Each structure stands twice: as C-alpha cells, then as structure tokens.
Amino acid sequence: MGKSGGGKKKKSGGGGTNKVTTDSSKPNVNGGNTSDTQILFLKRAQELKEEGTKKYQAGDYAGALERYSKGLKLVPDDHPNRAVFHSNRAACLLQINPIDYEEVISECSLALKIQPGFTRALLRRAKAFEALGKVDLAVEDVNEVLKAEPNHKEAMEMSRQQLASSTKDDVKKNHTDCSSCCSEETEGKMDDWIHDFAELFRTRLRIDPEAHVDIHDLAVDRCNEALEETLTSEEAQPLFEEAAGKFQQVAALALLDWGKVLILAAEKRNLLEESTVTGEAYEWVKQRYIMGKEKYEQALSIKPEFYDGLRDLGVVNLEIAKLQCSFAVQQKIILSVWEDSTEVLNLFQSAEEKIKAATEMLEKKEENKKEASEMLMIWGNILYERSQLECETGVQGWEKNLESALERYRLAGVSESDISVSLENHCSNQAASAKGDEKEEGN
C-alpha cells in the first residue's frame, strides 16, 4: 500500500504512515529541499509544544508528555529548542506518579548540555536530586541559578528550605535536651490545670463529679446524628450526584493517562521506520498498543461520553491496524490471502466508529476549528488505509471508502494537489500502473 500524503509518487507496496499534510501554507511535505523540510518540522514541533503546554496546564500530564515527546522527535539534534522540550518533559515526569527522579535528572541534564545555565532545567534537576537525597548536588544547581539571577524567587525559596533542612537535626536535638530538663515540672502544672478545668466543666454540665465522662464518644454521637440528618436531606442529593460525576471523571482520566503511558512505550519503538523487524519486536510493540487500548476501553466503560477517550481509542485502533499491515508486507505475505485481513478491517471499522462519535461530540461543543480539522484528518486516514487493504484483498466497496477519505481531506482543508498525489499513490493506481508496465514489456 502507498502513501496518502503529498509528494513524489511511490510504487512500493506495503502499509506506510499514510498521512496528508494540513499545513495552512499547503506545502508538499515530501518535496522541496532539506531546509524547507526542517522548517516544516520545526513549525509542527512548536505546535506540539503549545498543545503540550495546554495539556500540562489542564492537569493532563501524560498527554503533555506525549506531545513534548513527539515534538522532540521533529527537532534536529543540534537545535537549541531541544533544551526546552527536554526540560518540559522533566516537568511532566515530576507530576506523574510514581515519579522517576532518575529520568527527571536525565532529561534536565540533556537540556543543560544543549543550553548550560537553563534556569528551569537546573531547578527541576535540583528537586530530583533532593528527592534522591543528593542534597549537595541540589545545592549546587540552586546556587548556580542564584549566581546568575540573585533575586529569582523560586531559587531563593529552595535555598532557604535547604538551609532550614541542614539545621533541622540540631534544632531537634536542642529541643529534646530542653524538654528533658523541664518535662516533670510542666507535666505537674498541666495535670493540675486539666483537673481544675474538668471539675468546672462537669459542674457546668451538671454531671456527677465522681462519674466518668467520655467526651470523645459524646462528640462522635452528636456528629453522627447531625451527619445522618444531612446525608438524608434533599439538599444533599444534588451534591452527591455532582461528587459522583467528579470521581467518575477522575477515574476515567487516570485510566486514559495509564493507557497513554503504554502507548508512548510502543511509539518509542517505531517499527514503521525500521527496515527489518523481528517477530519478537513486533509482538512487543503490538502488545503495548493492545494494553493501552484496554485502558482506553476501561475509561470509556466508566464514562461513555468521554471525548478524549473516544478519540484516543480510535487512533490506537488505526495504529494497530497499520502496524499489522506493515509487518505483513515486510514478511512478504500476499494480502489477498492474508488470514488476519478480516481482523484488521474490523480494527479500521472500530476506529472509524470511535472517531465519528468523537467528531459528533466536538460539533456539539463547538470547539475550535483546528481540532475539528485534525479529527477530519484522522477520519480520512482511517478510510484511506481501509480502502487500500480492501483493494488489496478484493473486498467490495473500497472505492466508496476512498472517495469518503478524499472528502474528509477536503473538509479538513487539504490542497487539491496533495489530494491528487494521495489518489495517485493509492494501491489501486499502483496496481494498474504495474499491469501497464507488464503489458508494455510483453509487447
């Protein structure tokens, strides 16, 4: 199967990434010189950084980490912007439990290697050093910030806390010594005071001075009575429903973030870019995708009307389907007799259903046009990839899915020239071209 993105026509078979550019300037992403390509990559990296920042500010730290990681891949190794991406990844890692402090230190060190004296990277590394008990190293990082910025508030506060921590043991020791000197005298005075007050309290309550009174039990009883009345009141019911909704949302988000972590592990090993893939590597990546998919499904079972869950589940179904197609082509399996083709087509179908549902939710919310365009692109890619496999395996109706894919691309704002290239690269045209070549050779 060929590429769905614009650029030079490729006649090689096999499932690729099949993306169409939606950049407002409508560039030919596979054409042009290296400089033009780098400019496009850097622009997309900046967009991913901004998306990651929005995710971070919204408390979606795993989602932010995903965006920063993708953006980092697009920035050249010698570009100074890599420092920001590494530092931002460290900020996300500091918010995701359990915190991997060693990884935080590694990310900050990479940022500082590119941009020495980077304030945010130094302070984040100092926090990680402190958590691991490496106080001296933490102090060095904080002092380096204060040397360059003497009035930096966060660095000044961290320095103050470090100083307080260093004298904490001495303070505790002195307090212990002082307590041992006067504890007996104080205890005697407190006993007399408590006894006198208890006598007065009993008298005021008209309680027999000789009788035992358990104030704790009395307080608990009164609280339970008040609590029972409050819980059963009509005014409390809407509050309970609101609380249940909040807990539902938190549970769904937690499962979604868990799934994203597993997906990130799979994406880190991008088999689609490798020339040769072992069966063991393929199964490892596929398993991570499936585990992530299961977490997404659990999130949706808790909160069915969950836009992020529907979108991400649709995307991971597409990625699993593309992975299986690519591996089959690499293994030189004839797709027309491929046993797993039905399973993969079902993945495409499920992906389309989830993206369609998410798009409908997005339309109701009237969200920004950029996100709506991205959803149309994802939907178009699903239909395009599906039509290629259907064409290869002889399934009826692939032409309709191809036309629907092109329609989604147009709605997303893709240029007609890129759409034309996508159509030319479709496996149906490549097959026809191959037959034409064979016919010419025969003549």
Residue 269's identity, in one-letter code, is R
Write out pLDDT tens, residues 303-351: 888 888 999 999 999 999 998 988 888 888 887 788 888 899 999 999 9
Q: What is the largest CA-CA distance in the chain?
A: 120
Residues 288 and 397 in one domain: yes
Q: Which residue has the higher pLDDT, 181 or 21?
A: 181
pLDDT in the model for residue 266 = 83
Distance CA 113, CA 132 (A): 21
171 in any annotated domain: no
Q: What is the percent of the chain where pLDDT is above 90?
A: 40
Tell me: pLDDT of 161 over 90: no
CB-based burial, 411-437: b 16+ in 10 Å, e otherwise: ebebbeebbebbbbbbbbebeeeeeee
Residues 159 and 251 in one domain: no
Q: Is 135 exposed, middle or buried (0-12, 13-18, 19+ CB in 10 A)?
A: middle
* Separation of CA 345 from chain center: 27
Q: What is the mean pLDDT of the chain?
A: 79
H or E element at residue 53: helix 34-57
Maximum average pLDDT range among 83-97, 365-379, 387-401, 405-419:
83-97
Q: What is the percent of the chain where pLDDT is above 70?
A: 73
Residues 275 and 398 in one domain: yes
Q: Structurally, how many domains does the chain consist of?
A: 2
395 in any annotated domain: yes
Q: What does the DSSP assignment read for 317-373?
A: HHHHHHHHHHHHHHTT--GGG-TTHHHHHHHHHHHHHHHHHHHHHHHHHT--HHHHH
Write out pLDDT tens, residues 49-62: 999 999 999 999 99
Cα-flanking dihedrals φ and ψ of residue 101, to 5°?
-65, -35
Distance CA 11, CA 425 (A): 7
pLDDT in the model for residue 306 = 87
232 in any annotated domain: no
pLDDT in the model for residue 168 = 54
Domain final residue pick, 166, 183, 210: 166
Write out pLDDT tens, residues 74-96: 999 889 999 999 999 999 999 99
Residues 6+ apart with CB under 8 A from 353: 314
Write out pLDDT tens, residues 191-244: 565 566 666 655 655 555 555 555 566 666 767 777 777 777 787 788 778 888
pLDDT in the model for residue 439 = 46
Residues 400 and 257 in one domain: yes
Q: Scanning the structure block, which residue is given the tokens 């006598």?
A: 199
Size (the chain), residues: 443
- Other C-beta atoms lying within 10 Å of the C-beta of residue 4: 28
Tell me: pLDDT of 185 over 70: no
Tell me: pLDDT of 252 over 80: yes
pLDDT in the model for residue 248 = 85
Range 315-319 contact pairs with CB under 8 angstroms and sequence separation of 24 or more: 315/351, 315/355, 315/378, 316/259, 316/263, 316/289, 316/292, 317/293, 317/347, 317/348, 317/350, 317/351, 317/354, 318/347, 318/348, 318/351, 318/378, 318/381, 318/382, 318/385, 319/263, 319/266, 319/289
Tell me: pLDDT of 19 over 60: no
427 in any annotated domain: yes
126 in any annotated domain: yes
pLDDT band for position 367 (cuts 50, 70, 90): low
Token pair belonging to 115: 């941009």
User: Looking at residue 344, which CATH number applies to its domain?
Assistant: 1.25.40.10
Among residues 317, 314, 319, 267, the alpha carbon closest in space to that of 16 is found at 319
68 in any annotated domain: yes
Helix then strand count (H, E) for the chain reads 17, 0
Residues 273 and 133 in one domain: no
Write out pLDDT tens, residues 257-274: 998 998 888 887 765 555
pLDDT in the model for residue 172 = 52
15 in any annotated domain: no
185 in any annotated domain: no
Q: Scanning the structure block, which residue is given the tokens 């920004």?
A: 368
Distance CA 343, CA 208 (A): 81
Residues 144 and 268 in one domain: no
Residues 6+ apart with CB under 8 A from 225: none
Residues 156 and 257 in one domain: no
Residues 252 and 141 in one domain: no
Residues 141 and 264 in one domain: no
Whole domain around residue 332: which residue ranges? 247-442
Residues 151 and 270 in one domain: no
Domain final residue pick, 109, 144, 166: 166
Domain final residue pick, 105, 134, 166: 166
Distance CA 425, CA 9 (A): 6
